[in-house]
Structure 1
């Protein structure tokens, strides 16, 4: 079989009539040339514009990135500066807090010492001196100075309590300032971490991602001025508290010194009153003992005097009996012999004199016995007063003074 022949038979013979002329064909070609050339020129212009735009955008992008990097560096420096300032202020607050804590302990030690030692000793002395007896239970200089010392201690305690509250409040304010500085530093440390991470990122860094969320990527609600003002206010507050703390511990220093001097002054005044009172009491006791000794001597002398008077009275009774007997015997004479002679007259005179003398001796005896009773009563009173003075001396000299020696007002 002739395949070529079969293939020719299958070819369709086109129509002999053409739809376009040769002129149209040339015209169409020229139009195509111009269109192609125009599009090529447009493309060249677009390419040129694209190159220019890409270069401009590339420069702008690099410039913007450089500006952002610069701003980030400035921001990091600002944040580090404020953070450092916060740390400086925090150190100052810590230092002043430690100083005030020391002064707070000193005030508390002073209050504890006054309460547990000085006040107890003073009140114990007051209670001990209530054990004085009789006339010695007097409101003397010692009692007045002890009460004044108690009032001084109470006044010092009140003043120290007020100062302690001031110190506690200042410590609280310093801690509050430190707390807000710490919080601000934590925020700034976090911001520094973020900004340093941001400045380390490059367009070629890994794990970059496009944000497709609906939330705004600009959640800023604080201006730079407000941010700086906030940090400055924290620093100003810390500075204020530090400046308030410094004169406070200077004041506490002066206060502790002053109250210690006041306490010592009153302590010495009270002790001097004790010494004067002890000396006065000892002197009075010695005089009373001398009077007691003299009284005992007078009692013994008076008792001998009474014995002598009683003996004299007894002796005179014998003489009276003798005179009476003589008169009785002479009364037995006969009537003519019972004359009032010199013997009778003298006997009668002797009896009268003896009676008068016995009466005088009896009166003297009564007076001597009364004097003896008063002397004995005085002896008892003197012995009681001596015992009272001895008791007072024991309370003031033996009980109170050694107790007061343990009092110690020192510069707390």
Structure 2
């Protein structure tokens, strides 16, 4: 018995036993001094529940019936020996009530008196509607216990004591949370005073007098009514006190709960604010990177203007070639191809710029010129600003207390403002803004990568085509120089031949002129010998010799004339060809000059490439013979 029921001062001659039930988390030791405070006619018993004092290692009771069965098991015999009374405070009031209800129902025993304090009736609406607290976390439970008072603050302030105290307190509260009863089962006994039969009466008219029984009945009715009204008043006062206590606890708890929710909300807003801020910084960095990429692409596009101008100028210069020099050679083909490559590069670069421009700048319905990234950045900024303002509001609300001077009653504060959102919509909105910003940043990164690849491809294509054009131009210039040198050599040889031919023509003319005197001599001799008379006109050997000489001279003169005519015709042909070669040499000289000017013009590109640090390899051209044949190394 001493394990469960403790009697600190035994009084065998006591006329009544007072059984005391501990409050939540309490033990039997708290009633030790009651035996000394009360007289010897009262013997004080104190209930010791599992999980505390000498029973600290035993598990807590899980329901009210376990407590009742345990106490009944050791004290039932004492209850039948002599009258008993019950006392309980707070949780003890509940166990005391349940104990009295059980012994009345099961054993038909009832206390002569029951003292209850610090608790509302278990069957009252206040108790039935009270929220359960046993499921709260240790921190929340400790704050609730602090708010309702009744627990020594030094226990709650000491973490080690609180750890020892809270388990028993929560276990007892769990029993109360799950205890229910529907009605009050005790019968109230009233002591009726007996009226003596020989009571004196006054003589009066029967019609003006009441009987003693009527008088007693009237007094009893008045007493009953007074007692009933007092009971009603007492119940109202108790209910009012319980309501005050309950509402005070509820108000304190609601205030704490609201503060906790505000704190949680502030943490959520702060977390999302930091996420939005970090995302906004990433968007700013990506916008700067995309802007830089766009500017680099624009510079690359602007850099294609010079190659296009140079190619067009070279084509224009080469249109100045004359005659047969105006040929469709590989240089012209490479120059035209270079123009096409530059046009294609410009289109590709312009497409990249347009994409970056579209990513950076686009027209909204409101006609405000914003970028996709800037729009996402603005949305993030607006969301971030809203969260900063909401954070300020919630932190201001969290700092308010019931003693704050700026609090006041507001008209209809529970209204739902227009445009209110749910927490899910609120979080989804911020998540959508961050997701959209990341998508736009990913698109921007892809555009920058495409720009870099396109710029590299364009640069490689332009450089390759520039080298191809310059190679073709050097090769063509070399061919032009070879042709010019060949023409110079042919012209010099022809001029030398003309000079020799003119000398020979002069010799032929001199020989022809020299043959005229012998011919005249022969003709004169023959004519004079015709004058011989008679038989002396003989065709002698002299005559035959002169005739042969004349024929020979005439044949020689004819041959000289024919050769002279041939020589003169050849001389005329040589001079005509000389004139043609001189003209062709002039055209070749002009064409070579144009090629050289084209090469000089293209030096602007070479200087530009060297400025950018891109040195192209020059394919050398070497002359391997006096005829300047092309030899590609």
Say yes or no: TM over 0.5.
Answer: yes
Give the superposition deviation at 1:59. 0.7
Give the superposition deviation at 1:97. 1.3
Q: Is the 1:129–1:395 Cα contact (8 Å) retained in structure 2?
A: yes
**Equivalent residue number for residue 101 of structure 2:** none
The range that moved more, 255-264 or 126-135, is 255-264
* Whole-angstrom distance in 1 between the partners of 2:322 and 2:294: 45
**Equivalent residue number for residue 166 of structure 2:** none
Cα distance change, pair 218–362 in 1 and its aligned pair in 2 (3 A): closer
* Aligned mate of 2:279, from 72, 83, 89: 89
Give the superposition deviation at 1:335. 2.5
* Whole-angstrom distance in 2 between the partners of 1:119 and 1:64: 79
**RMSD of the alignment, in Å?**
2.5
Deviations, residues 198-252 of structure 1 (Å, cap 9, x unaligned): 1122222223232335993455642211211121111111122222222332232
Q: TM-score, normalised by structure 2?
A: 0.59
* Aligned mate of 1:133, from 302, 316, 322: 322
* Aligned mate of 1:203, from 402, 412, 416: 402
1:72 and 2:262 equivalent?
yes
* Whole-angstrom distance in 1 between the partners of 2:417 and 2:571: 119
* Whole-angstrom distance in 2 between the partners of 1:72 and 1:336: 171
Deviations, residues 54-86 of structure 1 (Å, cap 9, x unaligned): 110111111111111111111111111111111
Larger relative contact order (CA 8 Å, sep ≥ 6): 1
**Equivalent residue number for residue 281 of structure 1:** 480
Alignment partner of 1:386: what SS? helix
1:373 and 2:563 equivalent?
no
Cα distance change, pair 260–21 in 1 and its aligned pair in 2 (3 A): same
Deviations, residues 365-409 of structure 1 (Å, cap 9, x unaligned): 111011111111111111111111111121111x11122111135
**Equivalent residue number for residue 424 of structure 2:** 225
Deviations, residues 86-122 of structure 1 (Å, cap 9, x unaligned): 111111111111111111011100111112x111011
Give the superposition deviation at 1:169. 2.5
Give the superposition deviation at 1:34. 5.9
* Aligned mate of 1:101, from 269, 287, 291: 291
1:272 and 2:462 equivalent?
no
Q: Is the 2:279–2:434 Cα contact (8 Å) retained in structure 1?
A: yes
Decide which structure has greater strand share: 2
* Whole-angstrom distance in 1 between the partners of 2:340 and 2:240: 98
**Equivalent residue number for residue 403 of structure 1:** 601
1:112 and 2:311 equivalent?
no
* Whole-angstrom distance in 1 between the partners of 2:294 and 2:497: 69
Alignment partner of 1:336: what SS? helix
**Equivalent residue number for residue 158 of structure 1:** 347
* Whole-angstrom distance in 1 between the partners of 2:228 and 2:563: 175
1:340 and 2:539 equivalent?
yes
Structure 1, unaligned stretches of length 5 or more?
A: 1-19
* Whole-angstrom distance in 2 between the partners of 1:189 and 1:21: 88
Cα distance change, pair 355–212 in 1 and its aligned pair in 2 (3 A): same
Q: How does 1:3-22 map to 2 (within 5 A)?
A: none
Structure 2, unaligned stretches of length 5 or more?
A: 1-207, 361-370, 615-633
* Whole-angstrom distance in 2 between the partners of 1:151 and 1:373: 50
Q: Is the 1:145–1:273 Cα contact (8 Å) retained in structure 2?
A: yes
Cα distance change, pair 275–360 in 1 and its aligned pair in 2 (3 A): same
Cα distance change, pair 260–350 in 1 and its aligned pair in 2 (3 A): same
Q: How does 1:181-330 map to 2 (within 5 A)?
A: 181-212=380-411, 216-217=415-416, 219=418, 221-330=420-529
Q: Is the 1:260–1:411 Cα contact (8 Å) retained in structure 2?
A: no
* Whole-angstrom distance in 1 between the partners of 2:245 and 2:402: 17
Residues matched between the structures, number: 393
1:43 and 2:242 equivalent?
no
Give the superposition deviation at 1:346. 1.2
